[in-house]
Structure formats: C-alpha cells, structure tokens
C-alpha cells in the first residue's frame, strides 16, 4: 500500500522556486531517510508536505493515502494522518502538556467523526503512552515544553506521535545541535512506533541518526530534487566521502 506519492513536485517561497521536480514514493511499513547538504530543500519539502502557508505548490502532485492533499490546510493534513515533528518545539507557558495533548487528540477524533474522549479515559491512555516512550509522567503536568531540555522536547514530540498514531511521521532534524541522547530518543521512538501500516520520513543532514534508525531507503536531495536513491550503504558512503563525489557523478551524467 502506498502512503505517500509525490510526483514532479515544484514549490516556491516568495516567488523563488525551491523544489524543482521532486519525486518520492513511500509505502506502508517503510522508513525513508532524506539527506543532503544545507540548503538543498529538505526542510522546505517537509513544510510543503505539512502544508505550511508560506510555501506554494506550483506544479506536481502530493497524494497521501490515495488522496490529493495539496490543497488541504495544515490541520486537515494533520488529522488525515500527516505528522511533522517541529524542529523547534513551541513552548506554551500556562498550558499543561496533558491538556495540550488532550485537545490535540480530541481534534483528531472530531475530524474522524468520533466523540471527545472522556477525561479519565484520556488520562489512562496518555499515561500508557508516556510509558511506551519512556517519559516520566511528571512531564504531563508541566507547561508544554517549558524548561524542557532538548532531549525532553524531542521525547515530548515522540509522545505526541505515540498518541496521534500518524500514518506518515516526518522528522526533520536540525542540522546541528541534537545531542546523542536526543538522537537516541528520536530513534527509539521511531523504531518502537513503526507499524506495518504507517511510514516514516526521516530528514537529516548527518548520517549519525541512521546509526539508530535503519532506513529502507536513503535519498539524497540537491537543488530541490532527489538526485540519488540507495540503501543504508549510501548514507555510510556519504559520511565517509562527503557529498562532493555524488555531485560530480551527477555532473558527469548530465
């Protein structure tokens, strides 16, 4: 079953074309990694998938579970099952994490035509999820992300993911700054939450995250499209040799 099918996608921001004919096919049960140099368009792609309003799709298609989602609002995509982990998670002082997650969860239920969950049932559910992602329950009653360390914020994202059970989780890692604990947290979460019916798109500049998440496919982005697809070995080759050889290979081929 195909979860995501992107065909010849072109997208612009402020009239500047960033994505220039991107193709990608993701099937259920798969983990795909997207790598590439800074500025190659990785984050733009994740934002376009999530429906960020600053980015305009100028041509091409994005099909998600058989539905063209390119005209949907971000929240509609979210409730349809697209999950984008924030690079910089929001802090929301005065709103408890538990409350925030309950509202998010109910919004998803509502979009599916289901009733709101009973508060006590939600408490049982969320406590079960915190256990799965190995988060201390005390984090549920703190303000959303306020004073959380980088690793704790990451774990909180994974908790959101565990709760919302997206059919496509997109994790866009910043090109710097994630310490090894945070990396492991993300990886553990992705590995633990992977199901045969869902897929993961892991975006990373460095190979090191892929030591913990073993992708089925590795794609390399350059100048707004995917220039090479391979297995995990491709990520290792990039780490060992850098990106230059690949860019030269491309130049020779074209």
Residue 21, C-beta contacts closer than 8 angstroms, at least 6 positions apart: 8, 9, 10, 60, 224, 225
Report 12-71 residues binding ligand ADP (CB under 6 A). Answer: 13-14, 16, 18, 36, 38-44, 54
* 43 is a site residue for Mg ion (CB under 5 A): yes
Q: Which does residue 70 touch among Mg ion, ligand ADP, none (CB within 5 to 8 A, set by kind)?
A: none
The residue among 215, 213, 207, 156 whose CA lies nearest residue 184 is 213
Residue 44's binding partner among ligand ADP, Mg ion, none (Cβ under 5 to 8 angstroms by kind) is: ligand ADP
Query: Nearer Cβ to Mg ion, position 18 or 158?
Result: 18
Q: Which is nearer to ligand ADP, 29 or 74 (CB)?
A: 74
| Binding partner selected for residue 36 from ligand ADP, Mg ion, none, CB under the kind-specific 5 to 8 Å limit | ligand ADP
CA angle 164, 208, 251 (to 5 degrees): 105
Question: In the range 11-40, which residues lie near Mg ion by CB under 5 A?
Answer: 38
Which residue, 198, 192, 148, is CA-closest to 170? 198
The secondary structure element, H or E, covering residue 20 is strand 16-27
CB atoms under 10 Å from CB of 165, counted, come to: 15
Q: What is the binding site for ligand ADP (CB under 6 A)? A: 13-14, 16, 18, 36, 38-44, 54
Q: What is the binding site for Mg ion (CB under 5 A)? A: 38, 42-43
């Amino acid at each position: 079953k195909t979860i995501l099918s992107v065909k010849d996608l072109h997208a612009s921001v402020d009239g500047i074309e960033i994505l220039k004919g991107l193709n990608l096919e993701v099937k259920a049960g798969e983990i795909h990694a997207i790598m590439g140099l800074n500025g190659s368009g990785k984050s733009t792609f994740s934002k376009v998938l999530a429906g960020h309003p600053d980015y305009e799709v100028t041509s091409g298609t994005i099909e998600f579970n058989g539905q063209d989602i390119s005209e949907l609002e971000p929240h509609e995509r979210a409730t349809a099952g697209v999950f984008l982990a924030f690079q910089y998670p929001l802090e929301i002082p005065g709103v408890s994490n538990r409350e925030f997650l309950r509202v998010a969860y109910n919004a998803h239920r509502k979009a599916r035509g289901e009733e709101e969950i009973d508060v006590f049932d939600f408490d049982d559910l969320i406590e079960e999820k915190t256990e799965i992602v190995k988060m201390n329950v005390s984090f549920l009653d703190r303000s959303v992300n306020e004073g959380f360390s980088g690793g704790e914020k990451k774990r909180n994202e994974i908790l959101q993911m565990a709760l919302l059970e997206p059919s496509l989780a997109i994790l866009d890692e910043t090109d710097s700054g994630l310490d090894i604990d945070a990396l492991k947290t993300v990886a553990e979460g992705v590995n633990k939450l992977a199901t045969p019916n869902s897929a993961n798109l892991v975006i990373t500049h460095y190979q090191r995250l892929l030591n913990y998440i073993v992708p089925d496919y590795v794609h390399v982005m350059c100048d707004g499209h995917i220039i090479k697809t391979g297995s995990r070995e491709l990520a290792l080759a990039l780490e060992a040799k850098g990106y230059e050889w690949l860019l030269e290979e491309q130049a020779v081929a074209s």
